[in-house]
Amino acid sequence: MNRDNVSAVAMAIAVIAIIVGFGIYFNSPSLNKASSSSQQQLEKVVSAATTTNGTIKTIKLDKAQFLQIDKSQFQKAPEFAQIAGYINTPSSAPLTLASLKGKVVLVDFWTYSCINCIRTLPHLNDWYQRYADKGFVIVGVHSPEFEFEKNYDNVKAAVQKLGIKFPVILDSNHGTWNAYGNMYWPRDYLVDTQGYIRHDHIGEGDYNTTESAIQSLLAEGAALNGMKDISFNTAKSTTTINRSSLAFVDLTKQITPEIYLGYSFARAPLGNPQNFQPDQTIPYSIPPNTSFNPDIVYLDGLWKNNPDNMELQSNTGHIVLTYNARAVNIVAGGHGQQGIVTEDGATKILNNSSGKDLTQDGKFVLDGQRLYNLALYNNYGSHSIIINVSGKGFQLYTFTFG
Protein backbone atom coordinates (compact mmCIF):
# COMPACT_ATOMS: atom_id res chain seq x y z
CA MET A 1 0.00 0.00 0.00
CA ASN A 2 1.15 3.56 -0.49
CA ARG A 3 1.06 6.61 1.71
CA ASP A 4 -2.02 7.97 -0.06
CA ASN A 5 -3.85 4.83 1.05
CA VAL A 6 -4.32 3.52 -2.44
CA SER A 7 -3.96 -0.27 -2.63
CA ALA A 8 -0.71 -0.13 -4.52
CA VAL A 9 -0.66 -1.85 -7.87
CA ALA A 10 3.06 -1.97 -7.30
CA MET A 11 2.45 -4.54 -4.59
CA ALA A 12 0.61 -6.86 -6.92
CA ILE A 13 3.23 -6.77 -9.62
CA ALA A 14 6.14 -6.61 -7.17
CA VAL A 15 7.85 -3.65 -8.76
CA ILE A 16 11.57 -4.10 -8.66
CA ALA A 17 13.98 -1.20 -8.66
CA ILE A 18 17.65 -2.09 -8.60
CA ILE A 19 19.30 1.30 -8.74
CA VAL A 20 17.03 2.29 -11.63
CA GLY A 21 14.35 2.50 -8.97
CA PHE A 22 16.00 5.59 -7.57
CA GLY A 23 13.81 7.50 -9.99
CA ILE A 24 11.13 6.86 -7.40
CA TYR A 25 13.42 7.87 -4.58
CA PHE A 26 15.55 10.68 -5.93
CA ASN A 27 13.53 11.60 -9.05
CA SER A 28 16.77 11.97 -10.99
CA PRO A 29 16.77 10.27 -14.42
CA SER A 30 20.37 11.34 -15.02
CA LEU A 31 21.48 9.42 -11.93
CA ASN A 32 19.43 6.35 -12.80
CA LYS A 33 21.39 5.44 -15.93
CA ALA A 34 24.80 5.92 -14.35
CA SER A 35 23.84 4.12 -11.16
CA SER A 36 22.44 1.18 -13.08
CA SER A 37 25.67 0.90 -15.06
CA SER A 38 27.73 0.84 -11.87
CA GLN A 39 25.51 -1.81 -10.31
CA GLN A 40 25.78 -3.93 -13.43
CA GLN A 41 29.54 -3.61 -13.09
CA LEU A 42 29.28 -5.17 -9.62
CA GLU A 43 27.09 -8.00 -10.88
CA LYS A 44 29.55 -8.66 -13.71
CA VAL A 45 32.51 -8.84 -11.31
CA VAL A 46 30.64 -11.20 -8.98
CA SER A 47 29.36 -13.41 -11.79
CA ALA A 48 32.80 -13.80 -13.37
CA ALA A 49 34.33 -14.79 -10.04
CA THR A 50 31.64 -17.31 -9.05
CA THR A 51 31.93 -21.09 -9.17
CA THR A 52 29.04 -23.35 -8.20
CA ASN A 53 29.18 -26.78 -6.62
CA GLY A 54 25.69 -28.14 -6.17
CA THR A 55 23.76 -25.62 -4.09
CA ILE A 56 26.89 -23.82 -2.88
CA LYS A 57 28.47 -20.98 -4.80
CA THR A 58 31.90 -19.60 -4.00
CA ILE A 59 33.04 -16.16 -5.09
CA LYS A 60 36.77 -15.54 -5.47
CA LEU A 61 37.45 -12.01 -4.32
CA ASP A 62 39.87 -9.60 -5.98
CA LYS A 63 39.88 -6.34 -4.04
CA ALA A 64 41.29 -4.40 -6.98
CA GLN A 65 38.31 -5.30 -9.18
CA PHE A 66 35.79 -4.18 -6.57
CA LEU A 67 37.68 -0.94 -6.03
CA GLN A 68 37.12 -0.12 -9.70
CA ILE A 69 33.34 0.07 -9.23
CA ASP A 70 32.28 3.70 -9.60
CA LYS A 71 30.13 4.73 -6.64
CA SER A 72 29.99 8.42 -7.44
CA GLN A 73 26.45 8.12 -8.78
CA PHE A 74 25.05 6.35 -5.72
CA GLN A 75 23.32 8.27 -2.96
CA LYS A 76 24.22 7.92 0.69
CA ALA A 77 21.49 6.43 2.84
CA PRO A 78 19.96 9.02 5.18
CA GLU A 79 20.41 8.54 8.91
CA PHE A 80 17.43 7.30 10.91
CA ALA A 81 15.53 10.39 12.07
CA GLN A 82 13.09 11.21 14.89
CA ILE A 83 13.00 7.67 16.24
CA ALA A 84 10.50 7.21 19.08
CA GLY A 85 11.62 3.81 20.38
CA TYR A 86 13.64 0.65 19.80
CA ILE A 87 12.69 -3.05 19.86
CA ASN A 88 15.03 -6.06 19.57
CA THR A 89 18.10 -3.95 20.34
CA PRO A 90 20.25 -4.65 23.45
CA SER A 91 18.35 -3.18 26.41
CA SER A 92 16.21 -1.29 23.86
CA ALA A 93 19.24 0.94 23.24
CA PRO A 94 19.23 3.45 20.36
CA LEU A 95 20.41 2.24 16.96
CA THR A 96 21.87 4.46 14.26
CA LEU A 97 22.73 3.73 10.66
CA ALA A 98 26.19 5.19 11.27
CA SER A 99 26.83 2.52 13.91
CA LEU A 100 26.20 -0.15 11.26
CA LYS A 101 28.83 1.09 8.80
CA GLY A 102 30.87 -1.86 7.59
CA LYS A 103 27.75 -4.05 7.36
CA VAL A 104 25.26 -4.58 4.56
CA VAL A 105 21.98 -3.17 5.89
CA LEU A 106 18.47 -3.86 4.64
CA VAL A 107 16.27 -0.94 5.69
CA ASP A 108 12.71 -2.30 5.67
CA PHE A 109 9.80 0.15 5.87
CA TRP A 110 6.74 -1.60 7.28
CA THR A 111 3.77 -1.23 9.60
CA TYR A 112 2.22 -3.98 11.68
CA SER A 113 -1.35 -3.94 10.35
CA CYS A 114 -0.17 -4.16 6.71
CA ILE A 115 -0.81 -7.64 5.26
CA ASN A 116 1.68 -7.00 2.44
CA CYS A 117 4.36 -6.34 5.07
CA ILE A 118 3.37 -9.38 7.13
CA ARG A 119 3.79 -11.64 4.11
CA THR A 120 7.42 -10.54 3.65
CA LEU A 121 8.44 -11.36 7.22
CA PRO A 122 9.30 -15.08 6.79
CA HIS A 123 11.79 -14.12 4.08
CA LEU A 124 13.28 -11.26 6.10
CA ASN A 125 13.69 -13.43 9.19
CA ASP A 126 15.40 -16.14 7.13
CA TRP A 127 17.81 -13.68 5.53
CA TYR A 128 18.61 -12.13 8.88
CA GLN A 129 19.57 -15.50 10.33
CA ARG A 130 21.25 -16.82 7.17
CA TYR A 131 23.61 -13.90 6.58
CA ALA A 132 24.11 -12.33 10.01
CA ASP A 133 27.50 -14.00 10.46
CA LYS A 134 28.64 -12.57 7.11
CA GLY A 135 28.01 -8.96 8.10
CA PHE A 136 24.32 -8.51 7.24
CA VAL A 137 21.66 -6.81 9.35
CA ILE A 138 18.03 -5.82 8.87
CA VAL A 139 16.48 -2.77 10.49
CA GLY A 140 12.70 -2.67 10.42
CA VAL A 141 11.55 0.94 10.24
CA HIS A 142 8.02 0.88 11.65
CA SER A 143 6.31 3.86 10.00
CA PRO A 144 2.64 3.84 11.06
CA GLU A 145 -0.33 4.22 8.76
CA PHE A 146 -2.89 4.55 11.55
CA GLU A 147 -2.70 6.52 14.78
CA PHE A 148 -2.87 3.39 16.97
CA GLU A 149 0.30 2.08 15.30
CA LYS A 150 2.30 4.82 17.00
CA ASN A 151 1.82 3.14 20.38
CA TYR A 152 5.06 1.47 21.53
CA ASP A 153 3.29 -1.34 23.40
CA ASN A 154 1.13 -2.13 20.36
CA VAL A 155 4.19 -2.36 18.12
CA LYS A 156 6.15 -4.43 20.63
CA ALA A 157 3.26 -6.89 20.99
CA ALA A 158 3.02 -7.17 17.20
CA VAL A 159 6.78 -7.77 16.85
CA GLN A 160 6.52 -10.61 19.35
CA LYS A 161 3.34 -12.08 17.82
CA LEU A 162 4.80 -11.96 14.31
CA GLY A 163 8.09 -13.54 15.42
CA ILE A 164 10.29 -10.72 14.13
CA LYS A 165 13.91 -11.38 15.08
CA PHE A 166 15.68 -8.29 13.74
CA PRO A 167 15.86 -4.79 15.27
CA VAL A 168 12.81 -2.56 14.85
CA ILE A 169 12.84 1.21 15.23
CA LEU A 170 9.68 3.28 15.71
CA ASP A 171 9.37 5.99 13.08
CA SER A 172 6.16 7.28 14.66
CA ASN A 173 6.36 10.78 13.20
CA HIS A 174 7.63 9.62 9.78
CA GLY A 175 10.95 11.41 10.17
CA THR A 176 12.87 8.54 8.57
CA TRP A 177 10.08 7.87 6.07
CA ASN A 178 10.36 11.48 4.89
CA ALA A 179 14.17 11.43 4.90
CA TYR A 180 14.06 8.54 2.41
CA GLY A 181 11.22 10.09 0.41
CA ASN A 182 9.28 6.86 0.81
CA MET A 183 5.63 6.36 -0.17
CA TYR A 184 5.09 2.60 0.18
CA TRP A 185 4.61 -0.27 2.62
CA PRO A 186 6.65 -2.43 2.41
CA ARG A 187 9.76 -0.96 0.82
CA ASP A 188 13.30 -2.28 1.14
CA TYR A 189 16.53 -0.36 0.62
CA LEU A 190 19.83 -2.24 0.58
CA VAL A 191 22.73 -0.18 1.91
CA ASP A 192 26.31 -1.30 1.24
CA THR A 193 29.19 -1.39 3.72
CA GLN A 194 30.13 2.19 2.88
CA GLY A 195 26.64 3.57 3.38
CA TYR A 196 25.45 3.83 -0.24
CA ILE A 197 21.97 2.73 -1.31
CA ARG A 198 22.47 0.02 -3.93
CA HIS A 199 19.10 -1.72 -4.26
CA ASP A 200 15.50 -0.53 -3.92
CA HIS A 201 12.46 -2.81 -3.93
CA ILE A 202 8.83 -1.77 -3.58
CA GLY A 203 6.27 -4.28 -2.34
CA GLU A 204 6.22 -8.04 -2.11
CA GLY A 205 7.80 -10.71 -4.25
CA ASP A 206 10.93 -11.36 -6.32
CA TYR A 207 12.76 -12.49 -3.22
CA ASN A 208 15.46 -14.26 -5.21
CA THR A 209 16.52 -10.97 -6.81
CA THR A 210 16.79 -9.26 -3.44
CA GLU A 211 18.71 -12.19 -1.97
CA SER A 212 21.11 -12.15 -4.91
CA ALA A 213 21.70 -8.43 -4.32
CA ILE A 214 22.41 -9.15 -0.64
CA GLN A 215 25.00 -11.74 -1.64
CA SER A 216 26.68 -9.44 -4.16
CA LEU A 217 27.00 -6.62 -1.63
CA LEU A 218 28.31 -9.00 1.03
CA ALA A 219 30.91 -10.22 -1.49
CA GLU A 220 31.90 -6.64 -2.26
CA GLY A 221 32.21 -5.83 1.44
CA ALA A 222 34.29 -8.93 2.09
CA ALA A 223 36.62 -8.08 -0.81
CA LEU A 224 37.11 -4.51 0.39
CA ASN A 225 37.91 -5.96 3.81
CA GLY A 226 40.69 -8.08 2.34
CA MET A 227 38.97 -11.48 2.24
CA LYS A 228 39.94 -13.84 -0.58
CA ASP A 229 36.64 -15.70 -1.03
CA ILE A 230 33.11 -16.01 0.32
CA SER A 231 30.51 -18.79 -0.05
CA PHE A 232 26.71 -18.82 -0.07
CA ASN A 233 23.84 -21.09 -0.88
CA THR A 234 22.64 -20.26 -4.39
CA ALA A 235 20.24 -17.31 -4.35
CA LYS A 236 17.03 -19.26 -4.57
CA SER A 237 15.29 -18.26 -1.40
CA THR A 238 14.91 -21.43 0.65
CA THR A 239 12.02 -19.92 2.60
CA THR A 240 9.07 -22.26 2.18
CA ILE A 241 5.63 -20.72 2.64
CA ASN A 242 2.91 -23.30 3.28
CA ARG A 243 -0.31 -22.71 1.35
CA SER A 244 -2.22 -22.87 4.62
CA SER A 245 -0.20 -19.96 5.96
CA LEU A 246 -1.44 -16.38 6.02
CA ALA A 247 1.93 -15.46 4.49
CA PHE A 248 1.13 -17.34 1.26
CA VAL A 249 -0.12 -15.32 -1.70
CA ASP A 250 -0.25 -15.93 -5.44
CA LEU A 251 0.28 -12.52 -7.02
CA THR A 252 -0.79 -13.83 -10.43
CA LYS A 253 -4.38 -14.25 -9.21
CA GLN A 254 -7.14 -11.68 -9.37
CA ILE A 255 -7.50 -10.45 -5.79
CA THR A 256 -9.82 -7.80 -4.39
CA PRO A 257 -7.74 -4.69 -3.58
CA GLU A 258 -7.52 -3.34 -0.06
CA ILE A 259 -10.67 -1.54 1.08
CA TYR A 260 -10.36 1.40 3.47
CA LEU A 261 -13.10 2.62 5.78
CA GLY A 262 -13.31 6.09 7.28
CA TYR A 263 -14.11 9.21 5.28
CA SER A 264 -10.51 10.45 4.96
CA PHE A 265 -9.01 7.10 3.99
CA ALA A 266 -11.74 5.55 1.80
CA ARG A 267 -11.16 5.36 -1.95
CA ALA A 268 -14.52 3.77 -2.77
CA PRO A 269 -18.04 4.52 -1.55
CA LEU A 270 -20.06 2.40 0.80
CA GLY A 271 -22.79 0.28 -0.73
CA ASN A 272 -25.34 2.09 1.41
CA PRO A 273 -26.99 5.15 -0.16
CA GLN A 274 -26.00 7.27 2.87
CA ASN A 275 -22.31 6.66 2.04
CA PHE A 276 -19.67 8.32 4.26
CA GLN A 277 -20.71 11.43 6.19
CA PRO A 278 -17.74 13.03 7.99
CA ASP A 279 -17.96 12.96 11.78
CA GLN A 280 -21.63 12.00 11.70
CA THR A 281 -23.34 9.05 13.37
CA ILE A 282 -25.58 7.46 10.76
CA PRO A 283 -28.24 4.71 11.03
CA TYR A 284 -27.22 2.49 8.12
CA SER A 285 -29.53 -0.22 6.84
CA ILE A 286 -29.48 -2.82 4.08
CA PRO A 287 -32.84 -3.14 2.30
CA PRO A 288 -34.21 -6.64 1.67
CA ASN A 289 -33.27 -8.18 -1.68
CA THR A 290 -30.25 -5.90 -2.04
CA SER A 291 -28.01 -6.90 -4.96
CA PHE A 292 -24.52 -6.67 -3.50
CA ASN A 293 -21.84 -5.21 -5.74
CA PRO A 294 -18.45 -6.93 -5.44
CA ASP A 295 -15.64 -5.23 -3.53
CA ILE A 296 -18.05 -2.78 -1.86
CA VAL A 297 -18.76 -2.74 1.89
CA TYR A 298 -22.36 -2.55 3.14
CA LEU A 299 -23.20 -1.64 6.74
CA ASP A 300 -26.18 -2.17 9.00
CA GLY A 301 -26.54 -0.49 12.39
CA LEU A 302 -25.64 2.84 13.91
CA TRP A 303 -22.10 3.77 12.86
CA LYS A 304 -19.97 6.84 13.55
CA ASN A 305 -17.94 8.11 10.59
CA ASN A 306 -14.37 8.66 11.84
CA PRO A 307 -11.52 9.84 9.57
CA ASP A 308 -9.81 6.42 9.45
CA ASN A 309 -12.51 3.98 10.61
CA MET A 310 -16.20 3.27 11.06
CA GLU A 311 -17.15 2.84 14.74
CA LEU A 312 -20.27 0.98 15.86
CA GLN A 313 -22.50 3.06 18.16
CA SER A 314 -25.38 0.60 18.51
CA ASN A 315 -25.12 -2.65 20.45
CA THR A 316 -25.20 -4.73 17.28
CA GLY A 317 -24.33 -4.20 13.65
CA HIS A 318 -23.64 -6.06 10.43
CA ILE A 319 -20.97 -5.82 7.74
CA VAL A 320 -21.45 -7.41 4.30
CA LEU A 321 -18.89 -7.81 1.51
CA THR A 322 -18.46 -9.89 -1.65
CA TYR A 323 -14.79 -10.37 -2.56
CA ASN A 324 -12.37 -12.44 -4.63
CA ALA A 325 -9.41 -13.99 -2.76
CA ARG A 326 -8.35 -17.00 -0.71
CA ALA A 327 -7.91 -15.01 2.50
CA VAL A 328 -9.83 -12.10 3.99
CA ASN A 329 -8.66 -10.00 6.93
CA ILE A 330 -9.87 -6.93 8.72
CA VAL A 331 -7.92 -4.32 10.61
CA ALA A 332 -10.14 -3.62 13.59
CA GLY A 333 -9.95 -2.09 17.03
CA GLY A 334 -11.68 -2.54 20.35
CA HIS A 335 -11.60 -4.64 23.51
CA GLY A 336 -14.14 -7.37 24.14
CA GLN A 337 -16.43 -6.69 21.19
CA GLN A 338 -17.33 -9.83 19.26
CA GLY A 339 -18.06 -10.85 15.71
CA ILE A 340 -19.64 -13.96 14.23
CA VAL A 341 -18.52 -14.68 10.68
CA THR A 342 -20.79 -16.12 8.01
CA GLU A 343 -19.10 -17.08 4.74
CA ASP A 344 -21.11 -17.97 1.63
CA GLY A 345 -24.26 -18.29 3.73
CA ALA A 346 -22.81 -20.57 6.40
CA THR A 347 -21.49 -19.72 9.85
CA LYS A 348 -17.77 -20.36 9.95
CA ILE A 349 -16.77 -23.27 12.11
CA LEU A 350 -13.26 -24.49 12.74
CA ASN A 351 -12.22 -26.16 9.47
CA ASN A 352 -9.76 -25.79 6.63
CA SER A 353 -11.26 -22.49 5.45
CA SER A 354 -11.79 -20.82 8.82
CA GLY A 355 -9.71 -17.81 9.73
CA LYS A 356 -6.78 -17.91 12.12
CA ASP A 357 -8.57 -15.59 14.55
CA LEU A 358 -11.87 -17.50 14.72
CA THR A 359 -12.89 -19.72 17.61
CA GLN A 360 -14.42 -23.18 17.24
CA ASP A 361 -17.89 -21.69 16.72
CA GLY A 362 -16.90 -19.06 14.18
CA LYS A 363 -16.50 -16.12 16.56
CA PHE A 364 -13.71 -13.65 17.11
CA VAL A 365 -13.18 -11.30 20.03
CA LEU A 366 -11.32 -8.02 19.70
CA ASP A 367 -8.24 -7.78 21.91
CA GLY A 368 -6.78 -4.56 20.54
CA GLN A 369 -6.09 -2.74 17.32
CA ARG A 370 -4.57 -5.17 14.84
CA LEU A 371 -5.17 -7.37 11.81
CA TYR A 372 -7.67 -10.24 12.26
CA ASN A 373 -7.81 -13.13 9.76
CA LEU A 374 -11.44 -14.20 9.23
CA ALA A 375 -11.21 -16.67 6.34
CA LEU A 376 -8.43 -18.70 4.76
CA TYR A 377 -9.24 -21.02 1.86
CA ASN A 378 -7.03 -23.47 0.01
CA ASN A 379 -7.89 -21.95 -3.36
CA TYR A 380 -8.80 -18.58 -4.83
CA GLY A 381 -12.41 -17.77 -5.58
CA SER A 382 -15.35 -15.43 -5.10
CA HIS A 383 -16.96 -15.41 -1.66
CA SER A 384 -19.38 -13.40 0.43
CA ILE A 385 -18.80 -12.56 4.08
CA ILE A 386 -21.21 -11.29 6.72
CA ILE A 387 -19.82 -10.13 10.06
CA ASN A 388 -22.44 -9.93 12.79
CA VAL A 389 -20.97 -7.57 15.37
CA SER A 390 -21.88 -7.30 19.06
CA GLY A 391 -20.56 -4.48 21.20
CA LYS A 392 -20.57 -0.71 20.92
CA GLY A 393 -17.14 0.67 20.04
CA PHE A 394 -16.17 -1.91 17.38
CA GLN A 395 -13.88 -0.03 14.97
CA LEU A 396 -13.40 -1.20 11.37
CA TYR A 397 -10.39 0.28 9.54
CA THR A 398 -9.76 -1.88 6.47
CA PHE A 399 -10.41 -5.12 4.67
CA THR A 400 -7.29 -6.75 3.21
CA PHE A 401 -6.96 -9.86 1.06
CA GLY A 402 -4.53 -12.55 0.03
Domain ranges across the chain: 9-233, 259-401
Confidence of residue 349 (pLDDT cuts 50, 70, 90): low
pLDDT top residue among 317 and 348 = 317
Higher pLDDT, 33 or 375: 375
SS3 call for 144: coil
pLDDT score, position 240: 77
Fold classification of 9-233 is Glutaredoxin (3.40.30)
- Tens digits of per-residue pLDDT, 80-133? 999 999 999 999 999 999 999 999 999 999 999 999 999 999 999 999 999 999
Q: Given pLDDT bands bounded at 50, 70 and 90, which one contains residue 36?
A: low
pLDDT at 44: 81
Rounded Cα–Cα distance for residues 128 and 105 (Å): 10
pLDDT (mean) for 19-26: 32
Please report, as a single letter, which amino acid is at residue 177. W
pLDDT of residue 35: 63
Tell me the range of 5-19, 235-249, 285-299 where mean pLDDT is highest.
285-299
Which one of 2.30.110.10, 1.10.8.10, 3.40.630.10, 2.60.120.260 gives the CATH number of domain 259-401?
2.60.120.260
3-state secondary structure of 21: coil
Measuring CA to CA, which residue among 373, 367, 370, 401 is closest to residue 387? 373
Q: Assess whether pLDDT exceeds 90 at residue 281.
A: yes
Mean pLDDT, the chain, integer: 89
pTM value? Answer: 0.89
Give the Å distances, CA to CA, from 324 to 94, 122, 236.
43, 25, 30
- Cα–Cα nearest to 326, from 361, 296, 350, 352: 352
